[in-house]
Chain A
Amino acid sequence: MAGIGNADVEETLKRIEAHKSVIGTIVVNADGIPIRTTLDNSTAIQYAGLFRQLTVMARSTVRDIDPQNDLLVLRVRSKKHEILVAPENDFLLIVIQNLCE
């Protein structure tokens, strides 16, 4: 069971990472500590910490406006790339993608 679960996680993440424009992915736990990442450790820690805070704030904003609503995906588009953050079950999945030309 555990092995299968792990394989699922891996497989899922591999599918995401296989996209050509994806630079990296990070899986973050509830405390903002990266669990699994394809980037280097320091970058992952930085992203994890910062986006944890941002996601909590975004989620609370959405729920304040409408308590029955919930945040699905937070997309931060910058000049160089686009960062997608998906919160779920106290975990975060952060994906950094290059902009298309």
Chain B
Amino acid sequence: MPPKKPKSAASRAGKKGKAKATPAPAEDPGHPDDIFPLVLTSATQELFGCRADDDVTEESPHKLLRKDDIVQDLKMRAAVSDFSPVKQIVLEYPDAELLLVFDRDFVYGQSFYLALTPEAKERILNSPEPETPEVFEDEVVKSPEPKPWISLGSEQEIVEEYVSEKRRYKILKVNRQFGLPINFSDRNAADAKDGNLGWAPYEDSRSSIRLTQRDCGTQAVSTLQSSSTQTRCNSTNAISTQCTPREFSCEEKESILQSESVKNMCISVMPIMLQALQQEEIMNVFLDDWTALGSAAEDWSGKVTEGLMLYQSFTDQNYSKDKKISSVHWHPNLYGVIAVALTEKKEERLNESATLVLKASLILFYNFSDPSNPQLLLESPADICAFEFCPSDPNIIVGGCTNGQVVLWDISAHVSHLQETQPGKTIPVVADPFELDDDKENQTPVVRFCAVSALESSHKAPITDVQWLPPTFEVTRTGVPVENKYNISTQIVTCSPDCAVMFWDVRASRVSQSASDRKQNVDQKAPYSVPDTFQHLDRTWKPLFKVSLPKIDLSGEYAPLKFSLEHYTCTANKAATGSDDSPEVIPDYSRLTVPSEETHSALEQVNTKLFIGTEVGEIIYTDWKLVKDDSERLHSAKPLHCFSIHHWQVNTVQRSPFFNDIILTIGSWNFAIWKEGVMDGPIILSPNSEQACTAGCWSPSRPAVVFIGKEDGSVDVWNLLEKNWEPAQVNAHVTNAKITAIGPWIASPKQHFLAVTDDLGILRVFEIPKLLYVPSKNEGSNLRKYFEGEEQRLKDLLRCEELWAKEKEEAEELSKRMKSVQPVKSPVEDEDEEEYKSYLVLEESILKGLGLWPKTRDA
């Protein structure tokens, strides 16, 4: 960079090169001495190649001209040449080249200027160097050397910067007025404009804003606060205590008993105690005689009806003509519904197939409302001798036929019909092509049997007794009683004079189920509207097992007619199974199957013994469980006891409804009461009656009353407590024919009925008078005592008999021994001999006298 001096000159020159900002007055000469402003015409410009704005521009204003060229130009154009003013200078110019600078901005007055001296040329050429430092900086590395200051016009700048008074002044205040004391005066602020600045109060619009909504914080505090603390519980409470009573050991007891005080106590207490005991034994001081008196059955209306009163009699012209009723049962649930089984009177077995086609074998259902028309007919393949309603489901009925088959009915479809008590109502009947009646208006529905047992495995003789096993237990294939899981009756016991008692199960056994199903599908389906409850059993039903009754001491078998088994009541079982579902849930018999035997637990307490009455009047006590003999085959054991009490057919074997071990058996001309466990004979044996007893039953409400039906149609009422040698009451000729069956029923606490059926097919229902159904005071316990007494008597009798028998034996033996010792006849015997001889002589003489003495008898 050039030093100070040259810098100022350079800057001045630079300034001149650039556009000047300050409007400096144009009085200064402007250009230095060594520069000469020139005007070049355009021709000259073209000649020298320095056309303005073409060859020389603002950026590159320098143009080096050759001296020779200029001289030549001068010579050529002499006075016209632009260089004429500088002619002399040019000629004297030492250098060969002269610098021409384009002065675009007319800094020196003209558009061009010429550097007169080479020093000026150098200066001008070098001066633009600092103006463009960017271009030339890189090149200038060497340290600047101090150069002599060249005045480039910077002094003038400084001069310009001098502050000089160039202004013109205006006199405001004369000097003499300075420093005078001040006089303050007042002035109203309002006079002058802008004298005061006031801020008038104004209503801030903000204060008139009505707050309609304001956020404020709230804190909810619960009104109820629960808190808990835990304290240490110091008191100990016993949760449970267990105590055992104190006892004395034997020695202690002995020692205490020895003490004096005990002795004194006993002595003093004894009389009082004895007196109290005696008082109690004499009589019951607390007995209320008045109430005891009132318990006797008395009709306060005055008249006392003693005998059986006929309530209603039922007969049907169509069906029960020429038939006898073999069995009668009341419907367990429905009021006033009785079922009777009709059988042919003649018991011929010869023309079975021929004669039985015409008349269907029926069970009739009668209703109190309609005495002459049966409500329901149950059809069976053969005449029914015995039937029974199932205790768990009264819609199931089992019957035993005269051909030995067991038949099942299901009347669930017709139960509603039975329940209607309106007589004469037209019954919408299921079209039954088997119906014999042509009368379509009042047809009674006929129910065909659901299932019938297989012919080959049934009884060979008419089934005379059919009973359901109670729902409390069931029986396996060997006769072992096991518990009944569902508490429904599913098993049946039948007996028949073919010397067999058979046990049947209505459930489908799992083994034969598939076979029977297939068979059923192949065969025709049941043609009528028969419920298929027992489809699985139909025609293939086999008994569970068979109990035979071999005779005890002889060979052969007994022929049972009736039997009685003990109903096992187990209260524990019922409690375990919970609700008793017999009224609500009637089990679906079609779906039951015999469960496998292992799942059942055998019941030990079941009494498996049967009382059986036979054809010839024997009473047999036997066990139905099958036992294994030596060859490991199951067979029935021999009966335990057998008694021939009755002389003819036993027609009733019935347990007392009050005592489980008292059995009534009715045979030909008498009846007997047995106690189970007393195996010596009947405890009570009635005297023989004139008429044959043909039917009988216990009274359901009085333990001591027995109804016996006779051959002449009368019903005897026996009261065992009153007199046991004759009936307490005889209702003579209740019916015209032999009574075939008797069945009592308690319809309501005030209405007790007795159904009596006879040989003519008529069913009569009697009302039992109050006298006969209200038990007397303590009748049960009295009866029991009476039985015990009888039992005792029997035992005594037997003992006496034994004793006598023994004595007799001894006496005989004695006499025999005496005879053998003394062959001589005793005088007594001698006398007898004598007498005999004399008699013979007498006889001979008389006969000879009559002439009848046979000649051959001589000698």
Chain A residues with a Cβ under 8 A of chain B: 2, 5-6, 8-9, 12-13, 15-16, 19-22, 27, 29, 31, 33-36, 41, 45, 49, 72-73, 75, 77, 82, 84, 86, 88-91, 93, 95, 97, 99-101
Considering the chains assembled together, what is the distance between the CA atoms of A90 and B253 in angstroms? 16
Q: Kindly list 16 other residue pairs between chains A and B, CB separation below 8 angstroms, not including A86-B273, A89-B268.
A: A2-B258, A5-B262, A6-B257, A6-B263, A8-B267, A19-B281, A27-B257, A27-B262, A41-B247, A49-B245, A86-B272, A88-B264, A97-B277, A100-B280, A100-B282, A101-B284
Selected from B246, B274, B283, the residue in CB contact (under 8 A) with A16 is B274
B266 engages A8 (CB within 8 Å): yes
Kindly list chain A residues whose C-beta atoms are within 8 Å of the C-beta of B274: 15-16
A13 engages B266 (CB within 8 Å): yes
Asked if B828 is at the interface of the complex by the 8 Å CB criterion, the answer is no
A6 engages B258 (CB within 8 Å): yes
A4 to chain B: closest residue by CB: B263
Kindly list chain B residues whose C-beta atoms are within 8 Å of the C-beta of A12: 266-267, 270
Asked if B778 is at the interface of the complex by the 8 Å CB criterion, the answer is yes
Kindly list chain B residues whose C-beta atoms are within 8 Å of the C-beta of A84: 273, 276-277
B261 engages A91 (CB within 8 Å): yes
B778 engages A89 (CB within 8 Å): no
Asked if B586 is at the interface of the complex by the 8 Å CB criterion, the answer is no
Asked if B185 is at the interface of the complex by the 8 Å CB criterion, the answer is no
Q: Which 4 residue pairs spanning A and B have beta carbons closest together?
A: A86-B269, A12-B266, A5-B263, A88-B265
Kindly list chain B residues whose C-beta atoms are within 8 Å of the C-beta of A49: 245
Asked if B781 is at the interface of the complex by the 8 Å CB criterion, the answer is yes
A93 engages B256 (CB within 8 Å): no
Kindly list chain A residues whose C-beta atoms are within 8 Å of the C-beta of B778: 101
Nearest CB on B from A80, distance (A): 13
Q: Is the interface of B mostly helix, strand, loop or mixed?
A: helix
Considering the chains assembled together, what is the distance between the CA atoms of A6 and B278 in angstroms? 25
A82 engages B247 (CB within 8 Å): no
Nearest CB on B from A15, distance (A): 7
A11 to chain B: closest residue by CB: B266
Most buried by A among B258, B260, B263, B278: B263
Kindly list chain A residues whose C-beta atoms are within 8 Å of the C-beta of B265: 88-89, 91, 93
Nearest CB on A from B786, distance (A): 13
Kindly list chain B residues whose C-beta atoms are within 8 Å of the C-beta of A29: 256
A35 engages B253 (CB within 8 Å): yes
Considering the chains assembled together, what is the distance between the CA atoms of A6 and B281 in angstroms? 28
Kindly list chain A residues whose C-beta atoms are within 8 Å of the C-beta of B245: 33, 45, 49
Nearest CB on A from B269, distance (A): 4
Question: Are A16 and B272 also in contact (CB < 8 A) when A6-B257, A49-B245 are?
Answer: no
Considering the chains assembled together, what is the distance between the CA atoms of A13 and B274 in angstroms? 10
Selected from A33, A73, A90, the residue in CB contact (under 8 A) with B273 is A73
Kindly list chain A residues whose C-beta atoms are within 8 Å of the C-beta of B273: 16, 73, 84, 86, 93, 95
Question: Are A93 and B263 also in contact (CB < 8 A) when A16-B277, A100-B280 are?
Answer: no
Q: Is the interface of A mostly helix, strand, loop or mixed?
A: mixed
Selected from A13, A20, A31, the residue in CB contact (under 8 A) with B281 is A20
Kindly list chain A residues whose C-beta atoms are within 8 Å of the C-beta of B270: 12, 15-16
Kindly list chain B residues whose C-beta atoms are within 8 Å of the C-beta of A36: 253, 257
A95 engages B281 (CB within 8 Å): no
Asked if B434 is at the interface of the complex by the 8 Å CB criterion, the answer is no
Asked if B286 is at the interface of the complex by the 8 Å CB criterion, the answer is yes
Question: Are A33 and B246 also in contact (CB < 8 A) when A16-B273, A21-B277, A72-B272 are?
Answer: yes
A93 engages B247 (CB within 8 Å): no
18 A-B contacts (beta carbon < 8 Å): A5-B259, A9-B266, A12-B270, A16-B277, A20-B281, A27-B262, A33-B245, A33-B247, A88-B265, A88-B269, A89-B268, A90-B261, A91-B261, A93-B265, A93-B266, A100-B281, A100-B283, A101-B778
Asked if B300 is at the interface of the complex by the 8 Å CB criterion, the answer is no
A16 to chain B: closest residue by CB: B273
Kindly list chain B residues whose C-beta atoms are within 8 Å of the C-beta of A89: 261-262, 264-265, 268
B782 to chain A: closest residue by CB: A101
Kindly list chain B residues whose C-beta atoms are within 8 Å of the C-beta of A16: 270, 273-274, 277
Question: Are A88 and B246 also in contact (CB < 8 A) when A16-B277, A35-B253, A101-B781 are?
Answer: no
Question: Are A99 and B280 also in contact (CB < 8 A) when A12-B270, A16-B273, A45-B245 are?
Answer: yes
Question: Are A45 and B247 also in contact (CB < 8 A) when A16-B274, A88-B269 are?
Answer: yes
Instruction: Give B283-295 as 1s and 0s: 1 = Cβ < 8 Å from A's Cβ atoms.
Output: 1101000000000
Nearest CB on B from A40, distance (A): 13
Considering the chains assembled together, what is the distance between the CA atoms of A8 and B263 in angstroms? 7
A7 to chain B: closest residue by CB: B263
Kindly list chain B residues whose C-beta atoms are within 8 Å of the C-beta of A20: 281
Kindly list chain A residues whose C-beta atoms are within 8 Å of the C-beta of B246: 31, 33
Question: Are A9 and B257 also in contact (CB < 8 A) when A21-B277, A35-B248, A45-B245 are?
Answer: yes
B284 engages A99 (CB within 8 Å): yes
Nearest CB on B from A23, distance (A): 11
Most buried by A among B265, B274, B282: B265
Kindly list chain A residues whose C-beta atoms are within 8 Å of the C-beta of B284: 99-101
B778 to chain A: closest residue by CB: A101
Kindly list chain B residues whose C-beta atoms are within 8 Å of the C-beta of A82: 280
Considering the chains assembled together, what is the distance between the CA atoms of A61 and B86 in angstroms? 174
A22 to chain B: closest residue by CB: B277
Considering the chains assembled together, what is the distance between the CA atoms of A93 and B286 in angstroms? 24
B256 to chain A: closest residue by CB: A35
B285 to chain A: closest residue by CB: A77
Kindly list chain B residues whose C-beta atoms are within 8 Å of the C-beta of A5: 258-260, 262-263
Nearest CB on B from A77, distance (A): 7
Considering the chains assembled together, what is the distance between the CA atoms of A19 and B286 in angstroms? 21
B781 to chain A: closest residue by CB: A101
A90 to chain B: closest residue by CB: B261
Kindly list chain B residues whose C-beta atoms are within 8 Å of the C-beta of A97: 277, 280-281
Kindly list chain A residues whose C-beta atoms are within 8 Å of the C-beta of B262: 5, 9, 27, 35, 89, 91
Nearest CB on A from B285, distance (A): 9
Considering the chains assembled together, what is the distance between the CA atoms of A2 and B257 in angstroms? 9
Nearest CB on A from B101, distance (A): 152
Most buried by A among B257, B264, B278: B257
B261 to chain A: closest residue by CB: A89
Kindly list chain B residues whose C-beta atoms are within 8 Å of the C-beta of A34: 247-248
Considering the chains assembled together, what is the distance between the CA atoms of A35 and B255 in angstroms? 10
Considering the chains assembled together, what is the distance between the CA atoms of A19 and B280 in angstroms? 11
Kindly list chain A residues whose C-beta atoms are within 8 Å of the C-beta of B268: 88-89
Kindly list chain A residues whose C-beta atoms are within 8 Å of the C-beta of B278: 19
Considering the chains assembled together, what is the distance between the CA atoms of A45 and B743 in angstroms? 53
Considering the chains assembled together, what is the distance between the CA atoms of A49 and B243 in angstroms? 12
Kindly list chain B residues whose C-beta atoms are within 8 Å of the C-beta of A95: 273, 276-277
Nearest CB on A from B781, distance (A): 7
Considering the chains assembled together, what is the distance between the CA atoms of A88 and B266 in angstroms? 8
A27 to chain B: closest residue by CB: B262
Kindly list chain B residues whose C-beta atoms are within 8 Å of the C-beta of A13: 266
Considering the chains assembled together, what is the distance between the CA atoms of A20 and B278 in angstroms? 10
Nearest CB on A from B261, distance (A): 5
A95 to chain B: closest residue by CB: B273
Nearest CB on B from A70, distance (A): 12
Kindly list chain A residues whose C-beta atoms are within 8 Å of the C-beta of B260: 5
Kindly list chain B residues whose C-beta atoms are within 8 Å of the C-beta of A41: 247
B278 to chain A: closest residue by CB: A19
Considering the chains assembled together, what is the distance between the CA atoms of A15 and B273 in angstroms? 10
